[in-house]
């Protein structure tokens, strides 16, 4: 009791800092939830074609990627693979998740023949849901 | 004297550094966050069919877009036979929209791309097909849902 009276006498102004931690934790939670860690970044050189009707893909958990670079080299799961190996790589993934969406990140200058080989194998592996990755045309 | 003082001493966990710790973690996640930017043109591939199985579609219901090795398109439909160079692909949307009004859901767009054609040309054509949207007389929104991707070779 006596203590508080003394305090009041030499009162100091303070900005309350008790809530800074709460605010910070809120931001942390936001970034924790939205963070996606990328295991490796492959040095794949590709430029996506541009399209006006580009849509966003929301089902992130169902997604797998195939990359085709400028030199028509095919990459999957952080590996360089032969283009006729796509089916054998995709099949187990489709078994695990029948709703799998395969995103084809193909360089714009690649011959359509290469893309066709991949599409054919996706059909074989029953990975019917695909997306041709594009940039939004501005 | 000393003993008594210790008795009514309040024990407290210092919380002053909480904010600092929190901000440290915050900065870590700020710098490591990669926002996903998955976007593209959605397609549903057909079931793989043997060569004997053929789907018969009446000529009137088909719009054929053939892309040659230099990436130019030739659009064929009943009443149309247009040659489009790479800058004129927006004409595809017009033709598809007109055919959609005429043929409704029966319309099939066949995109025949040469194996030597650049991928960008095929995507551009596909984009134009997907852009085609018309409202039918009874108020439904029509789109070209049946798109078949067919490879062609120059032999």
Instruction: Enter the ipTM.
Output: 0.71
Beta bridge partners of B44: A129
Quickly state the pLDDT bin for B12 (edges 50, 70, 90). confident
* Interface contact flag, A112 B44, Cβ < 8 Å: no
State whether A126 and A64 are in the same domain.
Answer: yes
Query: What is residue A19's predicted lDDT score, i.e. its pLDDT?
Result: 83
A28 and A55 housed in the same domain: no
Q: How far apart are CA A97 and CA A90, in angstroms?
A: 10
Q: Is residue A92 situated within a structural domain?
A: yes
Q: SS3 for B81?
A: strand
A41 assigned to some structural domain: no
Nearest in space to A48 (alpha carbons), one of B37, B52, B153: B37
pLDDT, one tens digit per residue, over A20-74 is: 888 888 888 888 888 776 655 667 788 888 888 888 877 777 888 898 988 888 9
Judge if A57 and A15 occupy the same domain.
no
Q: How far is A13 from chain B (nearest CA, A)?
A: 18
For residues A28 and A54, membership in a common domain is answered with no
The reply to whether A28 and A56 lie within a common domain is no
Question: A51, B123: Cβ pair inside 8 Å?
Answer: yes
User: Given CA atoms A74, A76, A80, A86 in this order, what sign does their dihedral have?
Assistant: negative
Q: Is the dihedral of CA B35, B40, B44, B46 positive or negative?
A: negative
- Do A85 and A29 have their domain in common? no
**In terms of DSSP bridges, do strands A74-76 and A63-68 run parallel, antiparallel, or are they unpaired?**
antiparallel
Identify whether the C-beta of residue A14 lies closer than 8 Å to the C-beta of residue A99: no
CB-CB under 8 Å, B38 with A32? no
User: How is residue B72 annotated by DSSP?
Assistant: -
Residues A19 and A64 in one domain: no
List chain B residues with CB under 8 Å of A129.
Answer: 42, 44-45
Tally of domains within chain A: 2
Quote the pTM value: 0.73
Answer whether A78's CB lies under 8 Å from A41's CB.
no
Lowest-confidence pick of A25-39, A89-103, A106-120, B2-16:
B2-16
Instruction: State both tokens at B36.
Output: 């996903």
Q: Which of A 46-85 lie inside 8 A of B, CB atoms?
A: 49, 51-57, 60, 63
pLDDT at B9 over 80: no
Q: DSSP character for B139?
A: S
Residues of chain A contacting B46 with CB distance shorter than 8 Å? 123, 128
Give me the CATH number covering residue A121: 3.30.420.270
Tokens coding A137: 């045309």
pLDDT tens per residue, range B43-102: 888 887 766 567 777 777 888 888 888 888 888 888 888 888 888 888 888 888 888 888
Residues A61 and A118 in one domain: yes
pLDDT band of residue B10 (cuts 50, 70, 90) is: confident
Tell me, yes or no, whether A45 lies in a domain. no
**pLDDT the model gives residue A42:** 66
Q: Is residue A108 part of a domain?
A: yes
CA distance B45 to B66: 19
Q: What is the mean pLDDT of residues B37-47?
A: 83
Residue A105 lies in a domain: yes
pLDDT-based confidence at residue A3 (cuts at 50, 70, 90): low
Question: Do the chains contact at A134 and B41, CB–CB below 8 Å?
Answer: yes
> Does residue B138 sit at the A interface (CB-CB below 8 Å)?
no
What's the domain range around A17? Answer: 2-34
Asked whether residue A43 is domain-assigned, the answer is no
Report residue B64 as tokens.
């054929």
Which residues lie across from B73 on neighbouring strands? B67, B84
Are A22 and A56 in a shared domain? no
Closest CA to A130 of A61, A64, A53, A47: A64
Q: Which domains does chain B have, with CATH numbers?
A: 59-152 (3.30.420.270)
């Amino acid at each position: 009791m006596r203590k508080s009276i003394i305090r009041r006498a030499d009162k100091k102004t303070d900005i309350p800092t008790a809530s800074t931690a709460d605010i910070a934790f809120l931001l942390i939670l936001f970034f924790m939830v939205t963070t996606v860690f990328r295991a490796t970044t492959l040095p794949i050189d590709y430029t996506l074609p541009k399209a006006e009707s580009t849509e966003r893909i929301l089902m992130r958990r169902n997604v797998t990627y195939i990359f085709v670079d400028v030199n028509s080299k095919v990459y999957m799961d952080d590996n360089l693979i032969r283009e006729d190996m796509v089916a054998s790589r995709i099949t187990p993934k489709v078994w695990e998740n029948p709703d799998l969406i395969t995103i084809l990140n193909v360089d714009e200058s690649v011959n359509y023949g290469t893309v066709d080989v991949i599409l054919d194998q996706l059909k074989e592996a029953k990975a019917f849901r695909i997306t041709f990755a594009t940039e939004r045309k501005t | 004297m000393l003993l008594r003082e210790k008795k009514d001493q309040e024990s407290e966990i210092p919380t002053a550094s909480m904010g600092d710790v929190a901000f440290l973690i915050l900065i870590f996640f700020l710098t490591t966050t990669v926002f996903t930017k998955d976007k593209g043109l959605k397609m549903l591939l057909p079931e793989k069919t043997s060569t004997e199985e053929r789907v018969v579609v009446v000529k009137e219901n088909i719009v054929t877009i053939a892309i040659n090795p230099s990436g130019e398109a030739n659009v064929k439909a009943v009443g149309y036979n247009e040659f489009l160079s790479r800058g004129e692909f927006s004409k595809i949307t017009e033709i598809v929209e007109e055919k959609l009004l005429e043929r409704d859901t029966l319309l099939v767009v066949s995109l025949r791309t040469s194996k030597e054609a650049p991928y960008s040309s095929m995507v551009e054509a596909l984009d134009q097909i997907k852009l085609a949207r018309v409202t039918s007389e009874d108020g439904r929104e029509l789109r070209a849902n049946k798109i078949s991707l067919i490879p062609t070779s120059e032999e």
